[in-house]
Chain A
Amino acid sequence: MERIALLASTLCYLFSFGHTLFVLGAGRFHPGRFNFIAMALGAAAQGWYLSLRGVAEHACPLGTVPETLIFLSWSIALIYLVIGPSYRISLMGAFTAPLVLLLQIVAVLLPEGARSGFFRPNPWVETHAALSLVAYGAFGLACVAGFMFLLQEGQLKSRRPAPIFHHLPPITVLAKAILRLLWLGFLLLSLSFAAGMHAHIMISKAKFFFSILIWVLYAMLLAGAKTGFFTGRRFAILASTTFLLALVLLPVIQHLSSGTE
């Protein structure tokens, strides 16, 4: 049953991505409802998979790297589904689908690996882990918005914009979306740290260092944005690269925690 849920969600994201490519390739820049519905079905199937894993493990399903990536991919899709329509950022779904699909495929292809002993049933620990990944979901969507900003900014600078330029949102709107998503992610991450401290989790030094590093990087990014220190371009680059750095570090952290906790 778990495999069916996983396969169903992968197919939904694949359909969403494929449809987006087809529509954009055909010169139509309105992926429309199909894209949104496919993403919603993909997220629902992922939710089903995670709940099955949760029931099987009697804990939040974050014990292995593949589970973590699926949870992260689910968080990004979920935040897009909640926030995307209210921000009305055109083509955001088209840019979110490949990231979500990529995370899902990597998760499916990776070996299961050793399960972390971290997740002995403890609501505070699970709150900590789940909030962290939802925060990374918000950072992931900020990365998508950052990529869209850089694409649109490049089009504006080139002075010979391609047809997609007319359909991408204004850079100011994208910059605001990045900022709000970063604030959302930062608040959730801070809450997750608070939950972790409350749970008195014993973690490795490396994991502590990496977690603090990511938190500090996002704090600096938000402080820079608040003081007008960054131009829009630098802000978008930093929002995207910080998430990519976190994405690379996440499995490392997971690996380190499986050995030491």
Chain B
Amino acid sequence: MNILCAGINHRTAHLEVRERFAVREDEMAGMLGRLCEIEGVSGVVMLSTCNRVELYASGLCTLRALDGFRSILAERTGLEAPLYHHDTPQAVRHLFRVASGLDSMVIGETEILGQVKKAYSIANEAGAATRSLHKLFQHAFRVAKTVRTETQITSGPTSIGSVAVELAGKIFGSLEGRRVMILGAGEISERTARSLQSRGVRSVIVSNRTYERAASLAAEIGGMALHFDHWENAVVDVDILISSTNAPSALLTPEKIAPLLKLRRGAPLFVIDLAVPRDADPAINELDGLFLYDIDSLEQIAAQSLDIRQQEVVRCESLIDHHVGGFLSWLKTAREPGMPT
């Protein structure tokens, strides 16, 4: 029994190519049916995400499976797909790497595991997965879990928004019910606020020198606009302050912030300064209960996380090698039902 993996991903094809070959969830059952009809193919699982379209097939002749897959894609799109392909054992290694997030655009991202699980579940429901594919995917899920728990491949956030979310989480725990104030209605603060909202922040106050701009952004993100003259009073009640104004000098100074902190009865305040030049005097970070991060420090943390992940790749590969060996031992002795003896 052989395993074939064939497909395109973010490294081999641009987005405009990938989107042509993508298979929607409602089309997947039909696609799996067609793929199963290819001669020599006993079972298939198809993975279609924004970064990859991949086929995993079990069968005796992988070359026929590959040709069949190529023809079906060409027929669907009218394009020749720039497919890469792997046979056993590389196909097995590839799936283990994909499920573990090692083949992702951002190394170690965990969303891919959910997508692989979904692809497997759809194939399972459509009756397209064979015994060897069941075993392969179950093994891949175990590998992904082992890689996640035994290495630091998922360590740390990798974008400014996710860094802000993680830092807020490390200060406040759950972000449910936390209040955010945006000073200066810039695009980056809007994105950061949205990241925080995706983790449970409900109340967002937007304050901008131009009130109309504040009101427009507030309406977009479901927040509340505040006249710029009143932002200082609101600091007492918010947990997170995102600042990105065009002010020529620091708005948030120790003299201004220290008395406000006293009114907060010891509650911590997380200040995210995304402005250049900076809105916050770095000295406010010395104030008890206040945590200041500027654009550089956020980017440094994201870069640091990526570095850590990159350093972990070797350990992950070694774990994966071990598991590939385990799966191949099983595959040698395995027989698909209905296979010729």
Contact = CB atoms under 8 A, between A and B. Distances in A.
Most buried by B among A157, A160, A231: A231
Given A172-B173, A233-B288, A28 B268 contact: no
Given A30-B149, A172-B268, A161 B289 contact: no
Interface stretch (B13-21, B85-93, B297-305): B297-305
Contacts of A172: 171-173, 268
Given A228-B266, A229-B266, A159 B169 contact: no
Given A166-B156, A228-B265, A157 B291 contact: yes
A179 B293 CA distance: 28
B230 to A, nearest CB: 23
B308 A163 contact: yes
Interface string B139-177: 000000000011110011000000000110111110000
Interface string A5-49: 000000000000000000000011010000000000000000000
A31 to B, nearest CB: 12
B297 A159 contact: yes
Interface residues of B, number: 29
A160 B300 contact: yes
A161 B301 contact: yes
Interface string A157-182: 10111010110111111000000000
B285 interface: yes
B268 A157 contact: no
Interface string B216-249: 0000000000000000000000000000000000
Nearest to B286: A157
Interface string A201-222: 0000000000000000000000
Contacts of A160: 297, 300-301, 304
Contacts of A233: 288-289
B155 A163 contact: yes
Contact of B170 (A171, A228, A231): A171
Contacts of A165: 170
A169 B267 CA distance: 17
Nearest to A162: B304
Given A163-B308, A166-B166, A233-B288, A156 B171 contact: yes
A14 B267 CA distance: 38
B201 to A, nearest CB: 15
A232 interface: yes
Given A163-B308, A231-B289, A170 B172 contact: yes
Contact of A156 (B155, B267, B291): B291
A156 to B, nearest CB: 5
A240 to B, nearest CB: 16
A156 B167 contact: yes
Contact of B289 (A168, A169, A232): A232
A120 B289 CA distance: 50
A241 B264 CA distance: 25
Nearest to B282: A159
Interface in A121-141: none
Contact of A27 (B152, B297, B300, B301): B152
Contacts of A156: 167, 170-171, 291
A28 B148 CA distance: 10
A149 to B, nearest CB: 11
B169 A157 contact: no
B266 A235 contact: yes
A152 interface: yes
Nearest to B294: A159
A58 interface: no
A165 B167 CA distance: 10
A159 B150 contact: no
Contacts of A198: none
B340 to A, nearest CB: 47
A158 B168 CA distance: 15
Nearest to B149: A30
A28 B151 CA distance: 7
A230 interface: yes
Interface in A30-86: 30
Contacts of A170: 169-173
A65 B270 CA distance: 46
Contacts of A173: 173
A115 B86 CA distance: 77
A169 B169 CA distance: 9
A162 to B, nearest CB: 9
A28 to B, nearest CB: 6
Contacts of B288: 231, 233-234
Contacts of B172: 170, 172
Contacts of A163: 152, 155-156, 308
A28 B291 contact: no
Given A166-B166, A169-B173, A170-B173, 13 more contacts: A27-B152, A28-B151, A30-B149, A156-B167, A157-B291, A159-B285, A160-B304, A163-B155, A170-B172, A172-B171, A173-B173, A228-B265, A228-B267
**7 pairs of A and B residues whose beta carbons are closest in the complex:** A228-B265, A170-B173, A231-B288, A159-B297, A231-B289, A173-B173, A228-B266
Interface of A: 27-28, 30, 152, 156-157, 159-161, 163, 165-166, 168-173, 227-235
22 contacts: A27-B151, A156-B170, A159-B285, A159-B301, A161-B301, A163-B156, A163-B308, A165-B170, A166-B155, A168-B170, A170-B173, A171-B171, A171-B268, A172-B171, A228-B265, A228-B266, A230-B266, A231-B266, A231-B289, A232-B266, A232-B268, A234-B288
